[in-house]
Structure 1
Amino acid sequence: MEPISVTDRLGRWSAGRGPLYALLAARLRGLIDDGELAPGALLPPDRTLAVALSVGRSTVVAAYGLLHDEGRIVRRQGSGTRVAGTPRDDSPETTSEPMFLDLLEPRSDVISLACAAPDRPPVELAESYAAMLPALAATTGDIGYYPSGHPVLREAVAEYYRGRGLPTDAGQILVTTGGQQALSLLSKAYLRPGDRVLLEAPTYPGALEAFRAEAAVVSGLPPGLEGFASAIRDQRPALAYVIPTYQNPTGSVLSTLSRRRLAETSAAAGIPLIDDEVLAELGFPGRETPPPMAVFADSVITIGSLSKSVWGGLRIGWIRAASPVIGTLARLRAVHDLGGNLPAQLAAAELVPRLDDLLRTQAVERERRHDHLRAELARRLPEWDVPPVTGGQTLWISLPRGDGPSFAQAALRQRVSILAGNGLDPTGGSERYLRLHFLHPPEILTAAVDRLAEAWRTYRPPVTPGTAPSPLAL
């Protein structure tokens, strides 16, 4: 394949604020994600692209370096720089999309263990819609535009936090269309091209995408942001992000002492810290939900959502922050979205006070499915390392050989989709890991493991150029 000419497609990539390499990486990232630069496409050499764009070669090298760290391009001695993934044909089995594949290209014959969320609305949600209908029917003189969220839901969420020991008023709540929009809004508010974000490695891939969409540079620390204080001093980040409870994907839970240290350290340094609590209420029976990190420093920004705890189709999330921050975010949101779904917000306001009872009921079944998936994996794939978790929705699995991306392709050929670890880790340290969710009924989980076992039986890890294949791969 001949090198693709990308200079015309780049357009005015250098317009805006921030280092040129970050802006160039952001524009190339957009071309890759939009499909204009296809998987397997050969990109120009560093020097060639630098001359074409009238920039220093170091700018191109740094931009390519960012995209390589993100897994969007592959650089190999002797074969050049290519867009990651296998060149596409008519088969969806060759797709290289690391996330949201099941949403963008759904296949009825594929069992998805990649995108984790409850797949059916509970009866409590239907009851909440029924309960809000009189208020909706009685609405007059109201066009239904609430960029900050409907006052009734904002107050219900504020009361939810007060019940968890965190004094909150409705003016500190911004209702969003799920947790992903909350991350996108915060990224737009706090980040400029080239700004650095400190986060855990591995972490939630949707957060990585939100930060990179603003051309930020993500810097990975171990789960719990170990080394946070020194990283603040050395890297001067614009933002930090942590999932302290049932961390996605590892399932780890941060201690109370570590939460306090993170909150107080970020507050003292003036670094906005996002506490992602989307999974915080998903503990198994007998597990207490830790307090929000904003209990230790009110400058912490908290994200919550009903999409993981109630139903994926209930696109209701929120941000809890200081009132001036909420005002800024509301103005930013109004430019793109004058307000979310009002009936859904009214139903959510009915549901939030009942959330504890609903979650207690769900916890028993989630633990049963977690145990079932681990038992099936131990039976069919005993060489895999599958640590248990105490809550959340996913398992973080280490493969004994090969790598996550190539095995994910092998699994897809057996009609089961999984998430490879490299797409969740900006440091490149999770190449041999997989993330699987355990939310399906036991019979579907069993069928998925049978397919994974067949994929593993025929799996042959790719051979790195210049190395001999392992005897296990023969």
Structure 2
Amino acid sequence: MRANSEQLLAKLGRWSSGRGPLYLLLAVRLRALIDDGELPPDTVLPPDRTFARWLAVGRGTVVAAYDLLQQEGKVVRRQGSGTRVCSADPPALRNLSADGVVSPLLLHLLAPPDGVILLTCAAPDSPPPVLIEAYQEAAARLARVRHDIGYHPAGHPELRETLASYYRARGVPTTAGEILVTNGAQQALTLLAKLLVSPGDTVLTEAPTYPGALEAFRDAAALFRAAADAEEFCAALADRPVLGYAVPTGQNPTGGVMPALTRRRLVRLAAEHGVPIVEDEVPAELFFSGEPPPPLASYGTPGRLITVGSLSKLVWGGLRVGWIRAAPPLISRLARLRAIHDLGGDVLAQLASAWLLSRVDELRRDHVGVLRRRHDHLRAELVRELPAWTAEPALGGQTIWVRLPHGDADAFAQVALRHGVAVAPGRSFDPSGGHGDHLRLPFLFSEETLTESVARLASAWRDYDGTFRPHTLRALLV
């Protein structure tokens, strides 16, 4: 089916009225039409020159827009065949770039393969008993509620006050008016991206970093500046990106922890250059050495320091409760935006979360003890079965960052899938498409599952690398 010129132009509407480069604005609008089904699969789009003439833009604008959509897996471009919308796979199942960069988290959440150990999603695989107790307490609390219609776009008042108290206990003066409750941290990141990022804006991130955040910023048509380490991240603030995104404690995927002096320097430079910093503290409570470091907000004025958190890693991913801590004016704007989407979250889940947060020290102690044992078990299995693979120990979080001795992690991930284990290749975590020789491996599963996972990975590696001989290689894990 070929796109009709008049219908396509009508569907595009005022596509060029936003901020940012024209090619990005065009790509964003075409992407929306594809995702909404307005441009069905296999629709043939206009040739570059023809489309440029219709839109009264240069041919380069159309070419750049088409190329970006091809990188995202939305269209296919072939010489002689033109440009057409990709086949009818769900959008999240398509490759995010021509190099095979995908979001394995979204891929396997939407279409979990049978009989495969999913090492792509770093989240607890069953609800803990304490969650049942929390819901029982919340249900009793709910039975006493009167004169409450249940819509709370900024979050239930009890949970907002509990979160404010949680941050005050960590050395950050906070009021309930500085808290917005969300349906998990992913919604928090999506709301922030929608409010703070316009097409063509540059977002500064670590490389590697959490792919869910990259998805949220990509959806806002952001450009990326990727920093290889904390020093580079601090230096890049001088270029004044629209915002910076960092995971300083239990970094996803490396498990690293940013030193206190670096945190102070980052906050100081962000203030000097007027750059808002979004700190993702979702894995922070999984710090291995006692209480987690204080949030970045403890090192500076709160105006441009934004903290995102949730209970998905500490308790369970099915407890869809997250939050944003920020200055009250930003919280008010976010609450208005959130009200457009869903009017507020599940009250029972929020009451249960308030009860859980009052026991956060106990939850952390029990959960982190288990994680440390599993972390050590996974690394020991890797030393035994895959001694040529390199991985530094994590200081927190739920994952380790593994470097292959050679080859391509995307290609190896396909081999591993055939051996019954799904892994997340490194390019998924790098907005610049780097780290093609890395994998993220979570260690939150049982020791038995981790042992079986490594056995399957070793079998896959033998198929991928015909020269693999365990007795000839040294253990490189440090």
**TM-score bucket of the superposed structures, by smaller chain:** 0.7 to 0.9
Is 1:409 aligned to 2:411, yes or no? no
Is 1:242 aligned to 2:246, yes or no? yes
Mapped to 2, the partners of 1:422 and 1:73 lie a distance apart of: 20
Mapped to 1, the partners of 2:392 and 2:40 lie a distance apart of: 36
Mapped to 2, the partners of 1:26 and 1:222 lie a distance apart of: 28
Letter in 1 for 2:286: L
Mapped to 2, the partners of 1:373 and 1:45 lie a distance apart of: 52
Deviation above 4 Å: which 4+ runs of structure 1? 3-10, 28-54, 64-84, 92-97
Deviation at 1:375, TM superposition (A): 1.5
- Unmatched 5+ stretches in structure 1: 462-474
Is 1:192 aligned to 2:198, yes or no? yes
2:375 alignment partner, one of 365, 370, 376: 370
Question: Does the 8 A contact of 1:70 with 1:423 survive in 2?
Answer: no
Deviation at 1:310, TM superposition (A): 0.7
Is 1:21 aligned to 2:27, yes or no? no
Matches for 1:31-110 after TM superposition, within 5 Å: 50=52, 53-63=55-65, 66=68, 97-99=102-104, 100-110=106-116
Question: Does the 8 A contact of 2:128 with 2:316 survive in 1?
Answer: yes
TM-score (norm 2): 0.85
Mapped to 2, the partners of 1:192 and 1:133 lie a distance apart of: 41
Deviation at 1:107, TM superposition (A): 3.0
Is 1:201 aligned to 2:203, yes or no? no
3-state SS of the aligned residue for 1:226?
helix
Letter in 2 for 1:402: G
Q: Structure 2 vs 1, CA of residues 417 and 4 (structure 1 numbering), >3 Å: closer, same or farther?
A: farther
Q: Structure 2 vs 1, CA of residues 39 and 232 (structure 1 numbering), >3 Å: closer, same or farther?
A: farther
Letter in 1 for 2:314: S
Deviations along 1:208-230, one digit per CA (max 9) or x if unpaired, are 1111111111211123362534x
2:261 alignment partner, one of 257, 264, 272: 257
- Unmatched 5+ stretches in structure 2: 467-478
Q: Structure 2 vs 1, CA of residues 108 and 355 (structure 1 numbering), >3 Å: closer, same or farther?
A: farther
Is 1:293 aligned to 2:330, yes or no? no
Q: Structure 2 vs 1, CA of residues 395 and 5 (structure 1 numbering), >3 Å: closer, same or farther?
A: farther
Mapped to 2, the partners of 1:248 and 1:290 lie a distance apart of: 16
Deviation at 1:83, TM superposition (A): 9.0
1:360 alignment partner, one of 362, 365, 378: 365
Question: Does the 8 A contact of 2:250 with 2:396 survive in 1?
Answer: yes
Letter in 1 for 2:61: T
Mapped to 2, the partners of 1:457 and 1:43 lie a distance apart of: 44
Question: Does the 8 A contact of 2:206 with 2:233 survive in 1?
Answer: no
TM-score (norm 1): 0.86
Q: Could you tell which deviates more after superposition, 215-224 or 296-305?
A: 215-224
Mapped to 2, the partners of 1:395 and 1:42 lie a distance apart of: 43
Q: Structure 2 vs 1, CA of residues 243 and 41 (structure 1 numbering), >3 Å: closer, same or farther?
A: farther
Residue 472 (structure 1) aligns with: none
Mapped to 2, the partners of 1:228 and 1:421 lie a distance apart of: 23
Q: Structure 2 vs 1, CA of residues 30 and 410 (structure 1 numbering), >3 Å: closer, same or farther?
A: farther
Residue 470 (structure 1) aligns with: none
2:163 alignment partner, one of 157, 162, 167: 157
Mapped to 2, the partners of 1:48 and 1:445 lie a distance apart of: 55
Question: Does the 8 A contact of 1:94 with 1:409 survive in 2?
Answer: no
Residue 274 (structure 1) aligns with: 278
Q: Could you tell which deviates more after superposition, 335-344 or 448-457?
A: 448-457
Letter in 1 for 2:344: G
Letter in 2 for 1:333: R
Deviation at 1:134, TM superposition (A): 2.4
Residue 393 (structure 1) aligns with: 398
Q: Could you tell which deviates more after superposition, 377-386 or 20-29?
A: 20-29
Deviation at 1:34, TM superposition (A): 7.2
